[in-house]
A and B are shown apart, each in its own frame.
Chain A
Amino acid sequence: ETGVTQTPRHLVMGMTNKKSLKCEQHLGHNAMYWYKQSAKKPLELMFVYSLEERVENNSVPSRFSPECPNSSHLFLHLHTLQPEDSALYLCASSQDGGTGGYNEQFFGPGTRLTVL
Chain B
Amino acid sequence: DQQVKQNSPSLSVQEGRISILNCDYTNSMFDYFLWYKKYPAEGPTFLISISSIKDKNEDGRFTVFLNKSAKHLSLHIVPSQPGDSAVYFCAASVAHTGNQFYFGTGTSLTVIP
Interface residues of A (CB under 8 A from B): 4, 6, 31, 33, 40-43, 45, 48, 50, 55-56, 90, 92, 94, 96, 100, 102-110
| Given A100-B96, A105-B99: A90 touches B105 (CB 8 Å cut-off) | no
Interface size class of B (residues with CB under 8 A): 20 to 34
* Distance between B93 CB and nearest chain A CB, rounded to angstroms: 7
Interchain residue pairs with CB less than 8 A apart (26): A4-B43, A31-B98, A42-B2, A42-B4, A42-B89, A42-B102, A42-B104, A43-B91, A43-B103, A48-B100, A50-B98, A55-B98, A56-B98, A56-B100, A96-B99, A102-B51, A104-B34, A104-B46, A105-B46, A105-B101, A106-B46, A107-B36, A107-B45, A109-B41, A109-B42, A109-B43
Which residue of B is nearest A99, CB measured?
A: B96
